[in-house]
Amino acid sequence: MAGCCSVLAAFLFEYDTPRIVLIRSRKVGLMNRAVQLLILAYVIGCHRACFTEVKMEPPPPWVFLWEKGYQEMDSVVSSVTTKAKGVTVTNTSKLGFRIWDVADYVIPAQEENSLFIMTNMIVTTNQTQGHCPETPEETNVCESDAKCVAGSTGTHSNGVQTGKCVPFNGTVKTCEVAGWCPVESDTLVPKPACLKAAENFTLLVKNNIWYPKFNFSKRNILPNITTTYLKSCIYDAVTDPFCPIFRLGKIVEDAGHSFQDMAVEGGIIGIQIRWDCNLDRATSLCLPKYSFRRLDTRDTDHNVSPGYNFRFAKYYSDPAGTEHRTLIKAYGIRFDIIVFGKAGKFDIIPTMINIGSGLALLGVTTVLCDVIVLYCMKKKYYYREKKYKYVEDYEQGIDSEMDR
Protein backbone atom coordinates (compact mmCIF):
# COMPACT_ATOMS: atom_id res chain seq x y z
CA MET A 1 0.00 0.00 0.00
CA ALA A 2 2.80 2.32 0.95
CA GLY A 3 4.60 1.52 -2.34
CA CYS A 4 1.49 2.51 -4.26
CA CYS A 5 1.31 5.82 -2.41
CA SER A 6 4.93 6.61 -3.02
CA VAL A 7 4.46 6.02 -6.77
CA LEU A 8 1.52 8.38 -6.74
CA ALA A 9 3.52 10.90 -4.74
CA ALA A 10 6.38 10.64 -7.23
CA PHE A 11 3.95 11.18 -10.07
CA LEU A 12 2.45 14.27 -8.50
CA PHE A 13 5.31 15.88 -6.61
CA GLU A 14 8.37 15.18 -8.72
CA TYR A 15 9.60 16.53 -12.03
CA ASP A 16 12.26 14.99 -14.19
CA THR A 17 14.15 16.71 -16.97
CA PRO A 18 16.92 15.45 -19.30
CA ARG A 19 20.39 16.74 -18.63
CA ILE A 20 22.29 18.37 -21.45
CA VAL A 21 26.03 17.94 -21.65
CA LEU A 22 27.83 20.95 -23.12
CA ILE A 23 31.17 19.97 -24.52
CA ARG A 24 33.50 22.96 -24.69
CA SER A 25 35.67 21.76 -27.53
CA ARG A 26 36.51 23.48 -30.79
CA LYS A 27 36.87 20.20 -32.58
CA VAL A 28 33.50 18.82 -31.54
CA GLY A 29 31.76 22.16 -31.99
CA LEU A 30 33.03 22.63 -35.52
CA MET A 31 32.20 19.04 -36.40
CA ASN A 32 28.62 19.54 -35.26
CA ARG A 33 28.23 22.66 -37.38
CA ALA A 34 29.81 20.98 -40.40
CA VAL A 35 27.41 18.05 -40.24
CA GLN A 36 24.49 20.45 -39.83
CA LEU A 37 25.68 22.40 -42.83
CA LEU A 38 25.91 19.24 -44.95
CA ILE A 39 22.40 18.18 -44.05
CA LEU A 40 21.09 21.68 -44.65
CA ALA A 41 22.75 21.76 -48.05
CA TYR A 42 21.16 18.44 -48.90
CA VAL A 43 17.71 19.58 -47.80
CA ILE A 44 17.94 22.91 -49.58
CA GLY A 45 19.89 22.29 -52.68
CA CYS A 46 21.22 19.17 -54.10
CA HIS A 47 18.57 16.59 -53.30
CA ARG A 48 18.21 15.78 -56.94
CA ALA A 49 21.38 17.25 -58.39
CA CYS A 50 23.62 15.09 -56.21
CA PHE A 51 21.85 11.78 -56.43
CA THR A 52 20.25 11.40 -59.83
CA GLU A 53 21.32 11.86 -63.38
CA VAL A 54 18.10 13.54 -64.48
CA LYS A 55 18.97 16.86 -66.02
CA MET A 56 16.33 19.43 -65.23
CA GLU A 57 16.17 23.08 -66.12
CA PRO A 58 18.50 24.97 -63.76
CA PRO A 59 16.72 26.16 -60.60
CA PRO A 60 16.18 29.85 -59.96
CA PRO A 61 18.70 31.04 -57.34
CA TRP A 62 16.17 31.93 -54.65
CA VAL A 63 14.64 28.48 -54.63
CA PHE A 64 15.25 26.74 -51.37
CA LEU A 65 14.76 23.39 -52.94
CA TRP A 66 15.93 22.05 -56.24
CA GLU A 67 13.16 19.52 -55.86
CA LYS A 68 10.70 22.40 -55.77
CA GLY A 69 9.41 21.18 -52.48
CA TYR A 70 7.59 24.48 -52.07
CA GLN A 71 5.39 23.69 -55.06
CA GLU A 72 2.17 21.83 -55.61
CA MET A 73 2.66 19.51 -58.60
CA ASP A 74 0.28 18.36 -61.32
CA SER A 75 0.65 16.06 -64.33
CA VAL A 76 -0.42 16.91 -67.81
CA VAL A 77 -3.69 16.08 -69.55
CA SER A 78 -3.44 16.29 -73.29
CA SER A 79 -5.06 15.78 -76.65
CA VAL A 80 -3.32 15.28 -79.96
CA THR A 81 -4.32 15.56 -83.58
CA THR A 82 -2.07 14.92 -86.55
CA LYS A 83 -2.05 15.71 -90.21
CA ALA A 84 0.35 14.26 -92.77
CA LYS A 85 1.17 15.92 -96.07
CA GLY A 86 3.03 14.78 -99.16
CA VAL A 87 2.54 13.19 -102.56
CA THR A 88 4.69 10.71 -104.42
CA VAL A 89 4.60 8.65 -107.55
CA THR A 90 5.48 5.02 -108.26
CA ASN A 91 5.88 3.22 -111.54
CA THR A 92 5.86 -0.54 -111.17
CA SER A 93 5.05 -3.31 -113.62
CA LYS A 94 2.16 -4.50 -111.42
CA LEU A 95 0.44 -1.19 -110.67
CA GLY A 96 1.73 0.99 -113.50
CA PHE A 97 2.11 4.71 -113.04
CA ARG A 98 0.44 5.66 -109.80
CA ILE A 99 0.15 8.72 -107.59
CA TRP A 100 0.03 8.24 -103.82
CA ASP A 101 -1.52 10.90 -101.64
CA VAL A 102 -2.45 11.19 -97.97
CA ALA A 103 -5.68 9.21 -98.32
CA ASP A 104 -3.70 6.31 -99.83
CA TYR A 105 -0.85 5.97 -97.36
CA VAL A 106 -2.32 7.04 -94.00
CA ILE A 107 -4.14 4.00 -92.60
CA PRO A 108 -6.61 4.37 -90.95
CA ALA A 109 -7.56 7.94 -91.82
CA GLN A 110 -7.39 8.97 -88.15
CA GLU A 111 -6.27 7.44 -84.92
CA GLU A 112 -5.84 8.50 -81.34
CA ASN A 113 -2.32 9.78 -80.45
CA SER A 114 -0.96 7.76 -83.32
CA LEU A 115 -0.50 7.80 -87.08
CA PHE A 116 0.45 5.01 -89.46
CA ILE A 117 2.23 5.90 -92.68
CA MET A 118 2.50 3.11 -95.22
CA THR A 119 6.00 3.03 -96.70
CA ASN A 120 6.09 -0.34 -98.40
CA MET A 121 3.56 -2.89 -99.61
CA ILE A 122 2.83 -6.15 -101.33
CA VAL A 123 -0.25 -5.73 -103.50
CA THR A 124 -2.25 -8.70 -104.79
CA THR A 125 -4.75 -7.36 -107.31
CA ASN A 126 -8.01 -8.76 -108.58
CA GLN A 127 -8.58 -11.63 -106.17
CA THR A 128 -11.84 -13.57 -106.43
CA GLN A 129 -13.23 -16.52 -104.50
CA GLY A 130 -12.16 -19.71 -106.29
CA HIS A 131 -9.71 -22.61 -106.45
CA CYS A 132 -6.00 -22.12 -107.01
CA PRO A 133 -2.60 -23.59 -106.04
CA GLU A 134 -1.06 -22.57 -102.68
CA THR A 135 2.24 -20.71 -102.61
CA PRO A 136 5.04 -23.29 -102.41
CA GLU A 137 6.09 -24.00 -98.83
CA GLU A 138 7.48 -27.11 -97.17
CA THR A 139 4.03 -28.27 -96.00
CA ASN A 140 2.13 -27.86 -99.26
CA VAL A 141 4.54 -28.88 -102.01
CA CYS A 142 3.26 -32.21 -103.39
CA GLU A 143 3.82 -34.83 -106.07
CA SER A 144 0.36 -36.38 -106.03
CA ASP A 145 -3.10 -35.87 -104.53
CA ALA A 146 -2.12 -38.28 -101.71
CA LYS A 147 -0.29 -35.53 -99.79
CA CYS A 148 -3.20 -33.09 -99.89
CA VAL A 149 -6.03 -33.61 -97.41
CA ALA A 150 -9.40 -32.20 -98.39
CA GLY A 151 -10.77 -29.77 -95.80
CA SER A 152 -7.51 -29.20 -93.92
CA THR A 153 -6.03 -25.79 -93.20
CA GLY A 154 -2.88 -24.62 -91.53
CA THR A 155 -2.31 -21.38 -89.65
CA HIS A 156 -0.23 -20.06 -92.54
CA SER A 157 -2.41 -21.30 -95.38
CA ASN A 158 -4.30 -19.01 -97.70
CA GLY A 159 -7.40 -21.19 -97.93
CA VAL A 160 -8.96 -24.61 -97.32
CA GLN A 161 -7.34 -27.52 -99.15
CA THR A 162 -9.45 -29.26 -101.78
CA GLY A 163 -7.37 -32.48 -101.79
CA LYS A 164 -5.94 -31.99 -105.27
CA CYS A 165 -2.29 -31.53 -106.23
CA VAL A 166 -1.94 -28.97 -109.04
CA PRO A 167 0.99 -27.30 -110.82
CA PHE A 168 1.95 -23.94 -109.25
CA ASN A 169 4.35 -23.14 -112.08
CA GLY A 170 6.43 -25.07 -114.58
CA THR A 171 8.52 -26.87 -111.96
CA VAL A 172 6.61 -27.06 -108.66
CA LYS A 173 3.27 -28.65 -107.79
CA THR A 174 1.36 -27.56 -104.68
CA CYS A 175 -1.91 -28.47 -102.97
CA GLU A 176 -4.92 -26.67 -104.34
CA VAL A 177 -6.95 -24.46 -101.98
CA ALA A 178 -10.34 -22.85 -102.04
CA GLY A 179 -9.87 -19.20 -101.13
CA TRP A 180 -9.20 -15.75 -102.52
CA CYS A 181 -7.35 -16.45 -105.77
CA PRO A 182 -4.68 -15.91 -106.91
CA VAL A 183 -3.10 -16.27 -103.44
CA GLU A 184 -0.69 -13.68 -102.14
CA SER A 185 2.98 -14.29 -102.66
CA ASP A 186 4.71 -12.33 -99.89
CA THR A 187 8.08 -14.02 -99.92
CA LEU A 188 9.95 -10.95 -101.13
CA VAL A 189 9.61 -7.53 -99.52
CA PRO A 190 10.31 -4.78 -102.08
CA LYS A 191 13.65 -3.13 -101.43
CA PRO A 192 14.08 -0.19 -101.53
CA ALA A 193 10.63 0.56 -100.15
CA CYS A 194 7.93 1.42 -102.71
CA LEU A 195 7.09 4.72 -101.03
CA LYS A 196 10.65 5.62 -100.15
CA ALA A 197 9.79 9.28 -100.87
CA ALA A 198 7.77 9.26 -97.63
CA GLU A 199 11.05 10.47 -96.15
CA ASN A 200 10.11 13.95 -97.32
CA PHE A 201 6.48 13.85 -96.18
CA THR A 202 5.61 16.16 -93.33
CA LEU A 203 3.58 15.69 -90.22
CA LEU A 204 1.77 18.45 -88.37
CA VAL A 205 1.21 17.60 -84.71
CA LYS A 206 -1.32 19.70 -82.83
CA ASN A 207 -1.17 19.21 -79.12
CA ASN A 208 -3.33 20.88 -76.49
CA ILE A 209 -2.38 20.44 -72.87
CA TRP A 210 -4.13 21.19 -69.64
CA TYR A 211 -2.99 21.21 -66.01
CA PRO A 212 -6.31 20.73 -64.18
CA LYS A 213 -5.07 21.72 -60.71
CA PHE A 214 -3.94 25.13 -61.92
CA ASN A 215 -6.52 25.44 -64.71
CA PHE A 216 -3.65 26.20 -67.07
CA SER A 217 -3.88 25.26 -70.72
CA LYS A 218 -1.63 25.79 -73.68
CA ARG A 219 -0.97 24.36 -77.12
CA ASN A 220 2.15 23.54 -79.05
CA ILE A 221 1.33 26.09 -81.75
CA LEU A 222 2.72 28.90 -79.63
CA PRO A 223 1.14 32.38 -79.60
CA ASN A 224 4.05 33.90 -81.49
CA ILE A 225 3.79 31.47 -84.44
CA THR A 226 2.25 33.13 -87.48
CA THR A 227 0.35 31.49 -90.35
CA THR A 228 3.16 32.28 -92.78
CA TYR A 229 5.77 30.76 -90.46
CA LEU A 230 3.62 27.66 -89.99
CA LYS A 231 3.31 27.23 -93.76
CA SER A 232 7.05 27.10 -94.33
CA CYS A 233 8.73 25.88 -91.15
CA ILE A 234 10.15 22.41 -90.51
CA TYR A 235 11.12 21.25 -87.03
CA ASP A 236 14.80 21.26 -86.25
CA ALA A 237 16.11 20.81 -82.72
CA VAL A 238 18.53 23.69 -83.15
CA THR A 239 17.05 26.18 -85.60
CA ASP A 240 13.27 25.61 -85.25
CA PRO A 241 12.67 23.82 -81.96
CA PHE A 242 9.03 25.01 -81.67
CA CYS A 243 7.84 24.35 -85.20
CA PRO A 244 5.12 21.67 -84.90
CA ILE A 245 5.72 20.36 -88.44
CA PHE A 246 8.10 17.44 -88.73
CA ARG A 247 9.80 15.86 -91.73
CA LEU A 248 9.39 12.09 -91.36
CA GLY A 249 12.97 11.43 -92.41
CA LYS A 250 14.23 13.86 -89.77
CA ILE A 251 12.15 12.22 -87.03
CA VAL A 252 13.63 8.79 -87.74
CA GLU A 253 17.10 10.28 -88.08
CA ASP A 254 16.79 12.06 -84.71
CA ALA A 255 15.74 8.74 -83.21
CA GLY A 256 19.05 7.36 -84.43
CA HIS A 257 17.88 5.20 -87.33
CA SER A 258 17.87 5.28 -91.11
CA PHE A 259 14.49 6.09 -92.64
CA GLN A 260 15.15 4.08 -95.78
CA ASP A 261 16.10 0.98 -93.75
CA MET A 262 13.06 1.36 -91.55
CA ALA A 263 10.71 2.00 -94.47
CA VAL A 264 11.31 -1.48 -95.91
CA GLU A 265 9.87 -3.55 -93.08
CA GLY A 266 8.26 -0.89 -90.93
CA GLY A 267 8.53 -0.03 -87.29
CA ILE A 268 7.28 2.20 -84.53
CA ILE A 269 8.62 5.64 -83.62
CA GLY A 270 7.69 7.56 -80.49
CA ILE A 271 7.33 11.33 -80.75
CA GLN A 272 7.68 12.50 -77.17
CA ILE A 273 6.40 15.92 -76.20
CA ARG A 274 7.51 17.01 -72.79
CA TRP A 275 5.83 19.92 -71.02
CA ASP A 276 7.72 20.74 -67.82
CA CYS A 277 6.39 24.01 -66.55
CA ASN A 278 7.20 26.17 -63.58
CA LEU A 279 4.02 28.20 -63.27
CA ASP A 280 5.63 30.53 -60.73
CA ARG A 281 7.36 32.02 -63.71
CA ALA A 282 5.97 33.59 -66.90
CA THR A 283 3.65 31.24 -68.81
CA SER A 284 5.54 32.05 -72.00
CA LEU A 285 8.39 29.98 -70.54
CA CYS A 286 6.14 26.90 -70.45
CA LEU A 287 7.27 25.31 -73.71
CA PRO A 288 7.07 21.90 -75.34
CA LYS A 289 10.22 19.90 -75.81
CA TYR A 290 10.27 17.31 -78.57
CA SER A 291 12.30 14.14 -78.65
CA PHE A 292 12.14 10.99 -80.71
CA ARG A 293 12.93 7.35 -80.15
CA ARG A 294 12.34 4.07 -81.87
CA LEU A 295 9.92 2.00 -79.82
CA ASP A 296 10.20 -1.39 -81.53
CA THR A 297 13.55 -2.79 -80.57
CA ARG A 298 15.65 -3.87 -83.43
CA ASP A 299 18.62 -6.09 -82.62
CA THR A 300 20.97 -6.63 -85.47
CA ASP A 301 21.89 -10.09 -84.16
CA HIS A 302 18.31 -11.27 -83.57
CA ASN A 303 16.43 -10.18 -86.64
CA VAL A 304 13.45 -12.52 -86.40
CA SER A 305 10.08 -11.12 -87.47
CA PRO A 306 11.28 -7.52 -87.67
CA GLY A 307 9.24 -4.42 -88.36
CA TYR A 308 5.53 -3.78 -88.45
CA ASN A 309 2.99 -4.87 -91.05
CA PHE A 310 -0.65 -5.80 -91.45
CA ARG A 311 -3.08 -6.71 -94.24
CA PHE A 312 -6.21 -5.05 -95.47
CA ALA A 313 -8.34 -5.34 -98.60
CA LYS A 314 -10.46 -3.14 -100.82
CA TYR A 315 -13.58 -4.82 -102.19
CA TYR A 316 -15.47 -4.10 -105.39
CA SER A 317 -17.81 -5.86 -107.78
CA ASP A 318 -17.54 -6.17 -111.55
CA PRO A 319 -20.61 -5.44 -113.74
CA ALA A 320 -21.49 -9.15 -113.68
CA GLY A 321 -21.77 -8.99 -109.88
CA THR A 322 -18.69 -11.05 -109.02
CA GLU A 323 -16.95 -9.84 -105.91
CA HIS A 324 -13.27 -8.89 -106.30
CA ARG A 325 -10.75 -7.50 -103.92
CA THR A 326 -7.31 -5.95 -103.87
CA LEU A 327 -5.27 -7.33 -101.00
CA ILE A 328 -2.57 -5.11 -99.55
CA LYS A 329 0.07 -6.20 -97.10
CA ALA A 330 1.14 -2.85 -95.71
CA TYR A 331 4.51 -2.15 -94.15
CA GLY A 332 5.02 1.20 -92.55
CA ILE A 333 6.00 3.37 -89.67
CA ARG A 334 3.60 4.07 -86.86
CA PHE A 335 4.24 7.34 -85.08
CA ASP A 336 3.01 7.28 -81.49
CA ILE A 337 2.73 10.69 -79.90
CA ILE A 338 3.49 10.52 -76.20
CA VAL A 339 2.80 13.63 -74.14
CA PHE A 340 4.09 13.92 -70.59
CA GLY A 341 5.23 16.52 -68.13
CA LYS A 342 4.68 18.13 -64.78
CA ALA A 343 3.78 21.61 -63.70
CA GLY A 344 4.52 23.16 -60.32
CA LYS A 345 3.23 26.23 -58.53
CA PHE A 346 3.94 27.63 -55.06
CA ASP A 347 1.67 26.27 -52.37
CA ILE A 348 1.88 26.69 -48.60
CA ILE A 349 1.06 23.09 -47.66
CA PRO A 350 3.91 21.28 -49.47
CA THR A 351 6.20 24.10 -48.32
CA MET A 352 5.33 23.45 -44.67
CA ILE A 353 5.60 19.70 -45.05
CA ASN A 354 9.02 20.00 -46.66
CA ILE A 355 10.34 22.47 -44.09
CA GLY A 356 9.11 20.10 -41.38
CA SER A 357 10.80 17.06 -42.85
CA GLY A 358 13.95 19.12 -43.44
CA LEU A 359 14.10 20.10 -39.77
CA ALA A 360 13.50 16.50 -38.72
CA LEU A 361 16.46 15.49 -40.85
CA LEU A 362 18.62 17.95 -38.88
CA GLY A 363 18.03 15.70 -35.85
CA VAL A 364 20.35 13.20 -37.53
CA THR A 365 23.21 15.57 -36.62
CA THR A 366 22.89 14.80 -32.90
CA VAL A 367 22.95 11.06 -33.49
CA LEU A 368 25.95 11.30 -35.78
CA CYS A 369 27.94 13.61 -33.48
CA ASP A 370 27.14 11.45 -30.45
CA VAL A 371 28.49 8.38 -32.20
CA ILE A 372 31.70 10.18 -33.13
CA VAL A 373 32.23 11.82 -29.74
CA LEU A 374 31.43 8.74 -27.65
CA TYR A 375 32.93 5.97 -29.76
CA CYS A 376 35.50 7.35 -32.15
CA MET A 377 37.37 10.21 -30.52
CA LYS A 378 40.51 9.85 -28.47
CA LYS A 379 38.89 11.34 -25.39
CA LYS A 380 35.81 9.13 -25.73
CA TYR A 381 36.10 7.66 -22.20
CA TYR A 382 36.27 11.09 -20.69
CA TYR A 383 33.20 12.25 -22.63
CA ARG A 384 31.29 9.11 -21.74
CA GLU A 385 32.08 9.68 -18.11
CA LYS A 386 30.61 13.12 -18.37
CA LYS A 387 27.61 12.19 -20.42
CA TYR A 388 26.39 9.16 -18.55
CA LYS A 389 25.56 8.94 -14.90
CA TYR A 390 26.53 5.40 -13.99
CA VAL A 391 24.14 3.54 -11.68
CA GLU A 392 24.77 0.05 -10.28
CA ASP A 393 22.16 -2.69 -10.41
CA TYR A 394 19.74 -2.44 -7.46
CA GLU A 395 20.96 -5.39 -5.31
CA GLN A 396 24.58 -4.66 -6.00
CA GLY A 397 23.93 -1.09 -5.01
CA ILE A 398 22.44 -2.19 -1.67
CA ASP A 399 25.41 -4.53 -1.06
CA SER A 400 27.99 -1.90 -1.69
CA GLU A 401 26.02 0.49 0.42
CA MET A 402 26.09 -2.04 3.30
CA ASP A 403 29.79 -2.70 2.81
CA ARG A 404 30.43 0.92 3.50
Ligand X SMILES: *[C@@H]1O[C@H](CO)[C@@H](O)[C@H](O)[C@H]1NC(C)=O
Please give the residue ranges that form the binding site for ligand X (CB under 6 A): 196-197, 199-200
* CB 232, min distance to ligand X, A: 14
* 311 is known to lie in a ligand binding site: yes
* CB 333, min distance to ligand X, A: 14
- Can you tell me the distance from the alpha carbon of 222 to that of 186, in angstroms, rounded to the nearest whole number? 46
Task: Closer to ligand X by CB, 68 or 247: give it.
Answer: 247
- Can you tell me the distance from the alpha carbon of 257 to that of 269, in angstroms, rounded to the nearest whole number? 10
* CB 196, min distance to ligand X, A: 5
Parallel/antiparallel/unpaired status of strands 96-100 and 77-85: unpaired
* CB 120, min distance to ligand X, A: 13
* 320 is known to lie in a ligand binding site: no
Task: Closer to ligand X by CB, 69 or 249: give it.
Answer: 249
* 84 is known to lie in a ligand binding site: yes
- Can you tell me the distance from the alpha carbon of 135 to that of 159, in angstroms, rounded to the nearest whole number? 11
Task: Closer to ligand X by CB, 148 or 248: give it.
Answer: 248
Task: Closer to ligand X by CB, 194 or 243: give it.
Answer: 194
Residue at shortest CB range from ligand X: 200
Nearest to 309 by CA among 183, 121, 125, 135: 121
* 289 is known to lie in a ligand binding site: no
- Can you tell me the distance from the alpha carbon of 220 to that of 242, in angstroms, rounded to the nearest whole number? 8
* 19 is known to lie in a ligand binding site: no
Task: Report angle CA 75, 80, 86 to the nearest 5 degrees.
Answer: 145
Map residue 177 onto helix, strand or coil: strand
Q: What's 303's DSSP letter?
A: -
* 303 is known to lie in a ligand binding site: no
Task: Closer to ligand X by CB, 70 or 235: give it.
Answer: 235
CB 371 within 8 A of CB 104: no
* 91 is known to lie in a ligand binding site: no
* CB 249, min distance to ligand X, A: 7
Task: Closer to ligand X by CB, 197 or 225: give it.
Answer: 197
- Can you tell me the distance from the alpha carbon of 206 to that of 33, in angstroms, rounded to the nearest whole number? 54
* CB 99, min distance to ligand X, A: 15
Nearest to 180 by CA among 226, 128, 132, 139: 128
The kind and range of the H/E element at 91 are strand 88-92
The binding site consists of 83-85, 202, 309-311, 329
**Annotated binding residues for ATP:** 83-85, 202, 309-311, 329
